[in-house]
Amino acid sequence: MMRENGNLRYTTLLFDVDNTLLNFDASEEEAFKSLLLHFGMEPKDSLLQEYHQINRSCWELFEEGKMEKEEVLLRRFEIFFSRHNCQADGKEAEAFYRERLGDSAILIPGALELCRDLSRKYDLYVVTNGVADTQYRRLKSSGLDPYFKGLFVSEEAKSPKPQKEFFEYCFEQMRLLGVERPKERRREMLLIGDSLTSDMRGGENAGVDTCWYNPKKLSNDKDVSVTMEVSSYEEIREILLF
């Protein structure tokens, strides 16, 4: 179905997951504090903030193609625990953390209803960085899974969002799912996400319109173009459902 709203013509919505539909920050906090306890450390908020900085730096290198995903998953914990003189094995820490994270799928209030309603008018797909098994588990346990026609993860694409190669993979997977000439129909797609560096930059690289979900009302300091900006699900509804 072609949806027209002023100058907007979309049939397909590409959704980021973490901090767009699922509260990744809350899930991450739960998983990381469990990890600290596992290694005999007190789960202080200051340690969580320190880990956030390390983790963010590693994933930014991944998005830029300067670090492999497997290295990100291990190095973030190796760096953190080495700073605290903890003899934690990176692989053990990653496995423990990954298991806890996969068990956590905390919906942002209104996300389920939004996807349900949008799926009645558009074809919905997930485009996400991360570990495939973890993202599949979280999407299913959240109850969002029935509303999406496909889930495309950087691990399986072997390229990170925002790289153009990631979206080439997405278009090819859509074609295999029966979508006719998806790459040539990019103008009918809208990418919705919270990250300027992976989502908005990714849409720019792929030639897809973007909707920056910005509930914290941050400033755009990344020199990346954005088609539209919203701060709430209600604004998404106003644009796409009315």
Name the pairing type of β-strands 3-5 and 8-10. antiparallel
| Region label for 143, one of left (φ > 0), alpha (ψ between -120 and 50) or beta (otherwise) | left
pLDDT grade for 4, boundaries at 50, 70 and 90: very low
Q: Report yes or no: 176 and 169 within 8 Å, Cβ to Cβ.
A: no
Q: What is the pLDDT of residue 5?
A: 46
Q: What is the pLDDT of residue 8?
A: 67
Is 138's pLDDT higher than 50?
A: yes
Candidates 61, 97, 104; CA nearest to 78 is 97
| Region label for 195, one of left (φ > 0), alpha (ψ between -120 and 50) or beta (otherwise) | beta
pLDDT grade for 242, boundaries at 50, 70 and 90: confident
**Helices 132-142 + 90-102 axis angle, to 10:** 20
**What residue segments make up the domains of the chain, in order of their start?**
3-22+105-240, 25-102
Candidates 99, 83, 82, 79; CA nearest to 38 is 99
Is 219's pLDDT higher than 80?
A: yes
Q: Which residue shows structure tokens 């990381």?
A: 32
| Start-end of H helices in the chain | 24-38, 45-63, 69-83, 90-102, 111-119, 132-142, 154-157, 164-176, 201-206, 233-240
Give the tens place of pLDDT for each residue, 34-79.
999 999 999 999 999 999 999 999 999 998 999 998 999 999 999 9
Is 7's pLDDT higher than 70?
A: no
Residue 143: CB atoms within 10 Å: 14
Q: How far out from the chain centre does Cα 187 lie?
A: 21
Instruction: Give catalytic status of residue 16 as yes or no.
Output: yes
Name the pairing type of β-strands 209-213 and 189-193. parallel
List the catalytic residue out of 16, 18, 123, 199: 16
Report the DSSP beta bridge partners of residue 209: 190
Could you give the CA distance from residue 163 to residue 206 in angstroms, rounded to a whole number? 8
Q: What is the pLDDT of residue 241?
A: 95
Class of CATH domain 3-22+105-240: alpha beta
Superfamily of domain 25-102, CATH level 4: Putative phosphatase; domain 2 (1.10.150.240)
pLDDT grade for 3, boundaries at 50, 70 and 90: very low
DSSP secondary structure letters along 46-70:
HHHHHHHHHHHHHHHHHHTTSS-HH
Is 151's pLDDT higher than 90?
A: yes
The more confident residue out of 119 and 59 is 119
Q: Which residue shows structure tokens 């290295």?
A: 71
What mean pLDDT, rounded, does the chain reach? 94
For the chain, state the CA radius of gyration.
18
Q: What is the pLDDT of residue 2?
A: 41
Cα–Cα–Cα angle for 119, 133, 233, rounded to 5 degrees: 30
Residue 120 DSSP one-character state: T
Report the residue count for the chain. 242
